[in-house]
Structure 1
């Protein structure tokens, strides 16, 4: 990590080298180490450190972007020159208004020194406890444990300066028997929260339960989705539905429905990069302080995320919400700190109240079939169980589903009080477990491995 003073020096040197109308400099430093394991043994330790600098320059309404991983003074100057030359050869973007100015974001510490400095011995200690739990049960564990730190800094010629640093530990494991498997994972800014014994115990218990799965006819079932599966729902809503560009292009079910009921009254979803519920990122990649955005409140559509470009295209005085991706991205703004409101139930109570349904650990290989209505197809994985009359009867083979996630959240019967932090496509999400009254399964695997 280079530290704020050095990153600011580099950014100011880059800005000074620019003769453009407006200039933005985005800086990353990244350091990450990964321990991989399989067959109850560690087989790989890797570490990577990198830096990136991106320059966005504006000439009238022409924009050029260039990126490098060389922070030497001559290279930084050359980077700005390349971005400027690219801008000269672009077609003017008449929808572009200006780079944004933002006051300094609140300082929210998400950097834990012990996480950033976590070495292979410490990761091996955690992994060793998982592998020992697996080995003792006659099972086989595989997975990965990553610890990382990063810095992000943004400066522009309008006077914006932002800096933050963050550390994170992320572990997941699949523990396998001959005919079934179990899963467990954790994410935290503090590596001390990663409990190898608890992770191993969860995955072993699920793997033992999942042995000798039976066939089950496809059809419509009640489902109990663990937090691992619910994270997939939020991923697709963030990716497909809750961005300003998708809203403007009418590619989301939210378009034209702000203020209308679109989900069940017990569903509320939002994004808040400053709350600390998820690892905080106080500003976006163009240096704008993040705002809390309510997507769904008590089932009613409330809003989407905006960056300065999409907000500037709105006929109203829409402001950016601080959700820009790095310059050059064509995807538009998306949420990175999503959360879903907790309920009053527990996983055990959901199972006990189920007449006939499926308990699903997580989803795998999910893909959108109809993005507008968030219809997704995918597979269950690492533990799927038939529940009848409030009891878990037996494991079933992995099932394929094709389901509208919007429709599913119109039939939420129960929400867990406990929520967990889960990896997202970008960022992290905070999710509960859900019991949903109707879920469409369209097929099953012929074999289980």
Structure 2
């Protein structure tokens, strides 16, 4: 791992070696530890420590990128030279103007010593709580308990330098037998904030309630989405249309809907790299400060996120959402939040006449990006609600649904939000009650 002075010294060494007109150095050092378990037994403890430097070299409008994880002086010089060689072999990019100039950024509170110092024994104790609860219910538990410590620094030849340490802890479990399965998860920058007992109780309760599901007819239902299900839909919506490059290429729903109030007025969605409920990171991979970006304001679509390149093309400032170079997809939001509502889960269930309570989705894919039509299946706990009561489990269903249409009517939004780790970063979301959601098929594989 690298402290701030060490990260700066390494960056200066690379920048001094580079012969490019402009150069950028990104250093990401990581120590990750993971405890995996299955059949109520830990089967693997793994740990890895690595550091990678990525150099971006600029000659006029030619840009090249190279990276490596050998950080001795000779290897660093070689990475800088490879980046320069790649740049000189590229055609000019007419949209490129410059690397970002230095900006003032605010520190974000994302490091916990408890997480950085977490031992295999601590993780094993958490796993034991889940395995014991599963065994007591006649179930088998599988999952993983991981912790990470990361330092990220960005420097460039224009004088920009940013450094940020952070920690992350993530616990997830699936408990099952041959008749059912249940899922639960927890995540935080602070491992001490994770309650393995709560994760165990939730996963076991869902599995027990899921036993012997019955098939129901596909069609349109009211739904109550748990945070993992809501976060999955939010991530795909952001991926499909909230990045500046998708707007510039006219493949985003914002091209037609920006400024229009088409979603439920109770709904607000934004990205905030400083929010302490998520995993704060105060700058992007170009060292630009992350700005709070409002995507949906009380049902009205607002703006997208930008990095320096797409911002230059669009004539706007970067919002601080550059991903690691080279990046062909453009900027994306990675700190998503949905505003909390005022309802408990029990209140949301009690208000549903006939609908489905969904734990999470699986095998989700984009069918049509402009309408954010997705398809996927329910998994690990899907229940029928009738007249405000949960009447029993149902077999998994396949959905095919425009998320933009689904978000037009939200009778209720939950008041308790949860951080969900995902492939896009992290999302802080409440349970969502949607007035209608379309299911197009029924699985024959029960509820797991």
- Shorter-normalised TM-score: what interval? over 0.9
The answer (yes or no) to whether the contact 1:294–1:303 under 8 Å persists in 2 is: yes
Decide which of 423, 427, 430 is 1:429's aligned counterpart. Answer: 427
8 Å CA contact 1:213, 1:395 repeated in 2 = yes
SS of match in other structure, 1:441: strand
**Aligned 8 A contact 1:7 1:153 in 2:** yes
What is the TM-score of this pair, normalised by structure 1? Answer: 0.98
Q: Retained in 2: the 8 A contact 1:160–1:287?
A: yes
Matched residue, 1:35 = 35
Which residue of structure 1 lines up, in the alignment, with residue 394 of structure 2? Answer: 396
**Is this contact kept in 1: 2:145–2:169, CA < 8 A?**
yes
User: Could you tell me which residue of structure 1 aligns to residue 207 of structure 2?
Assistant: 207
Name the SS for the 1:412 alignment partner: coil
The structure 1 segments of at least 4 consecutive aligned residues displaced by more than 4 Å after TM superposition are none
Structure 2 distance, partners of 1:194, 1:92, is 49
Match of 2:374 in 1: 376
Q: Describe the SS at the equivalent of 1:255.
A: helix
Deviation, 1:197, is: 1.1
User: Counterparts of 1:45-444 in structure 2 under 5 Å?
Assistant: 45-314=45-314, 316=315, 318-444=316-442
Shift of 1:251: 1.0
Deviation at 1:426, TM superposition (A): 2.6
For 1:380 and 1:398, locate their aligned partners in 2 and report how far apart those are by CA, in whole Å: 5
Supply the distance in 2 between the matched residues of 1:136 and 1:118 (Cα, whole angstroms): 27
Report the Cα distance in structure 1 between the residues aligned to 2:378 and 2:275, rounded to whole angstroms: 32
List gaps (5 residues or longer) in structure 1: none
Over aligned residues, Cα RMSD in angstroms?
0.9
3-state SS of 1:75 partner: helix
Given that residues 374 and 405 in structure 1 are in contact (C-alpha distance below 8 angstroms), is that contact kept between their aligned partners in structure 2?
yes
Larger deviation, residues 100-109 vs 408-417: 100-109
Q: 5+ residue gaps in structure 2?
A: none
Q: Secondary structure at the match of 1:70?
A: coil
In structure 2, distance between residues paired with 1:67 and 1:402: 40
> 1:224: Cα distance to partner?
0.7
Offset from partner CA, 1:324-357 (integer Å, 9 cap, x none)? 0011011100011110011111111111111111
* Shift in Å, 1:15: 0.3
SS in 2 for 1:134: helix
- Whole-Å Cα distance in 1 between the matches of residues 140 and 146 of structure 2? 20
Q: Helix, strand or coil for the counterpart of 1:130?
A: helix
Distance in 2 separating the partners of 1:92 and 1:196: 53
Aligned-pair CA distance for 1:407: 0.7
TM-score (normalizing by structure 2): 0.98
- What is the distance in 2 between the residues matched to 1:72 and 1:256? 51
Answer yes or no: is the 8 Å Cα contact 1:271–1:294 preserved in 2: yes
